[in-house]
Chains A and B, each alone.
Chain A
Amino acid sequence: MSAVTVTRSTGSIGDAESSEATWRPSRGLEPQAIAIETEHLSRTIVDRVLVSDITVQVQPGEVLAVVGPSGAGKSSFLRLLNRLDEPTGGTVRLKGQDYRELAPRELRRRVGMVMQMAYLFPGTVAANIAFGPWQCGEGLAAEQIDALLQRVGLPGYQERDVSNLSGGEAQRVSVARTLANVPEALLLDEPTSALDDVSARGIEDLVLTINRERRMTCVIVTHNTAQAHRIADRTMILQAGKLVAIGPTKEVLRDR
């Protein structure tokens, strides 16, 4: 269990047995890892094909890396999973349900996304972390924020102004901010591309820990094949918006 176990509905804190901090959603249930499926997913703007006819299944608790050259459609593919962009063809299914049947805001809380840049809102770290729950009418107790910050390795950062954070710290706050919504799956769009090696490895470790702890389904876009080797169960390769290979990371990236 955890050093600090926080129940989201009450904000109460209980003693825990290990050094890891976790928290529970108001339903009283741990979020279940979900399967994400895309069916002939496509997006075209005017006559430019960004994503072309991609059909993949991501298993619950799996880490899938999306690799490919610049302009291959990696980020476009990830944005479609979070419905930040609208598919022009095909769809996405979460646990078998067409995601267009879900309210976009609910979908985005269930499928959290960490972007390439942290894009923190002006103010304190605590305010940033509380933003997501606050937007759906839920408060976040100081203890819950503390637990999340411990989880991402930034204890005591609650009142820090985000303008004083390093790139790596900002990205960790960004991850904590996404986790505050208790997502069932996590999408990461090159979360380490703007970081130095040490910070990048720290984020990788964090993603792996979260994935193992909560069996959270993760889809990570990366241009770094070594990173894919380190963290991904499977890897898919995109080129010009098309899926050219998918399979166990070692096999897919063997010759790359």
Chain B
Amino acid sequence: MIAELLNTLHSNIVMGMAQAAGAITLCAAVVLLCRRFAVHVERETAISLGRGLVQMVFVGMVLAVLLHGNLLVGVLILLGMTFAAAVTASRRARDIKDSLLLSFYAIAAGSGVVIAAMLATGTLTADIAVLVPVGSMIIANAMNACAQSIERFRADVAAHVGQIEAGLALGADPDATVAPYVQSAVYASLLPRLDMLKSLGLVWIPGVMAGMMVSGASPVYAGIYQFIIVAMILAASGIAGLVVTLLMRMRAFSPASQLTLRPGERQQGPDRLAKRMPSPA
């Protein structure tokens, strides 16, 4: 298997490197153009291009080995990606207790439901070579949605502490006091994907469709399949955004209905929260 892989790599590597050199040349020309306008990005661009090339070659080599594995390997890769995505998303919520766990639950829920639905409907085959790339797209978008929801909810709560506490002081259900901010956080996670759907085919032709057409698939089927992928990305993003926002809402109040998610305060001590107050009759 390894010998076969090396042969495949060897046959493509020269052409790939030549094409990469062409791309790098174009980037270098753009950098020189920028330099004429006193925009100095030479060093940063060189580092970014070098890192990007090395990382992608490395990832390609790892995937070349892994994609010949069985389905269990594919599931483990997706789980690893979900964990890495949760680590990235949770960086926006370091001061919230268990933020890594919240992000992991949200991203796993969003991408898990969607991947399971795609497998169940036959949109996705249980083949590691298909499962991992498509799954990674869905996980990456769920991660972005999760991070956007966290950011929006935190910002809105921080900007409206007075109004939230005014509601609490009136005996309001804590959930009701943050309801507008839950709505805006979930909406924030969906908006980029809704725009993506609206512009699909008009502004951009995504990679999956382009790849399918290059490999000889019917353009109409490729288009429909791409729509399905983007729709599934929207669904995964919506679930991830909703789950993380609701989990954050639970963390925003103490058992005594006190707002604990305040700017500059890390959750700790007696205000730390566990359960919610009952809703009004």
Which residue numbers of A lie inside 8 Å of B, CB to CB?
45, 82-86, 88, 103-106, 108-109, 112-113, 115, 117, 119-121, 131-132, 135-137, 174, 177-178, 181
Nearest B residue (CB) for A100? B256
Give the number of chain B interface residues (Cβ < 8 Å).
23
- B281 at the A interface (CB under 8 A): yes
Given contacts A88-B270, A135-B280, contact A108 B258 (CB under 8 A): no
Which residues does chain A contribute within 8 Å of B280, judged by CB atoms?
105, 135-137
Q: A137 vs B176: C-alpha distance in the bound complex, in angstroms? A: 13
Contact with A along B244-272 (1 / 0, CB 8 A): 00000000001011110000000001110
List A contacts of B165 (CB < 8 A): 84, 115, 119
Q: Tell me, in angstroms, the Cα distance from A104 to B256 when the chains sit together.
A: 6
For residue A113, which residues in chain B have a CB less than 8 angstroms away from its CB? 169
Task: Specify which of B162, B257, B259, B271 is in contact with A105 (CB 8 Å cutoff).
Answer: B257
Complex CA–CA separation, A112 to B172 (angstroms): 12
* Complex: A136 Cα to B170 Cα, angstroms: 10
Measured CB to CB, the closest approach of chain A to B257, in angstroms, equals 4
Bound-state Cα–Cα, A88 to B269, Å: 9
Contacts of B163 in A (CB 8 A): 119, 121
**B170 contacts A84, C-beta separation under 8 Å:** no
Contacts of A103 in B (CB 8 A): 277
* Distance in angstroms between the alpha carbons of A222 and B270 in the assembled complex: 28
Can you report 26 residue pairs joining A to B where beta carbons are below 8 Å apart? A45-B269, A82-B169, A83-B258, A84-B169, A84-B259, A88-B270, A104-B256, A104-B257, A104-B258, A104-B277, A105-B172, A105-B257, A106-B171, A108-B169, A113-B169, A115-B165, A119-B162, A119-B166, A120-B166, A131-B172, A135-B172, A136-B280, A136-B281, A137-B280, A137-B281, A174-B166
Best-surrounded residue of B171, B269, B281 (most CB of chain A within 10 A): B171
- Rounded to whole angstroms, the CA-CA distance of A116 and B171 in the bound complex is 18
For the complex, is B126 an interface residue (Cβ under 8 Å from A)? no
| A234 smallest CB distance to B (angstroms) | 24
> Of B162, B172, B281, which is within 8 A of A115 by CB?
B162
Question: With A115-B165, A117-B162 known to touch, is A131 a contact of B170 (CB < 8 Å)?
Answer: yes
Is the Cβ of A136 less than 8 Å from the Cβ of B256? no
Instruction: Establish whether residues B167 and A131, one from each chain, have CB atoms under 8 Å apart when the complex forms.
Output: yes
Q: Which residue of B lies closest to A187 (CB)?
A: B169
Cβ of B151: which chain A residues have Cβ within 8 Å of it? Answer: none
The answer on a CB contact under 8 Å between B171 and A136 is: yes
Beyond A85-B258, A131-B170, A181-B171, list 14 extra A-B contacts (CB 8 Å).
Answer: A45-B269, A82-B169, A84-B258, A86-B254, A104-B258, A108-B171, A109-B170, A109-B171, A112-B170, A119-B162, A121-B166, A135-B176, A135-B280, A181-B170
Cα A131 to Cα B162 with chains together (Å):
16
Shortest Cβ-Cβ A-B pairs, 10 listed: A119-B166, A109-B171, A132-B170, A113-B169, A108-B171, A135-B172, A119-B162, A104-B257, A105-B171, A137-B281
Q: Bound complex: CA of A44 vs CA of B1, how far in Å?
A: 65
Q: Using a CB-CB cutoff of 8 Å, which residues 161-196 of chain B contact chain A?
A: 162-163, 165-173, 176
Q: What residues of B have a CB within 8 angstroms of the CB of A121 in the complex?
A: 163, 166-167
**Docked-complex contact B167 and A84, CB < 8 angstroms:** no
Choose from A115, A117, A120 the contact partner of B169 (Cβ within 8 Å): A115
Q: B281 contacts which chain A residues (CB < 8 A)?
A: 136-137
Whether A132 pairs with B162 at a CB distance below 8 angstroms is no
Q: How far is the CB of B145 from chain A (nearest CB, A)?
A: 27
Residue ID in chain B nearest A105 by CB atoms: B171
Cα distance, A12 to B252, chains bound together (Å)? 40
Chain B residues, CB < 8 A from A178:
169-170
Chain A residues closer than 8 Å to B256, beta-carbon distance = 83, 86, 104
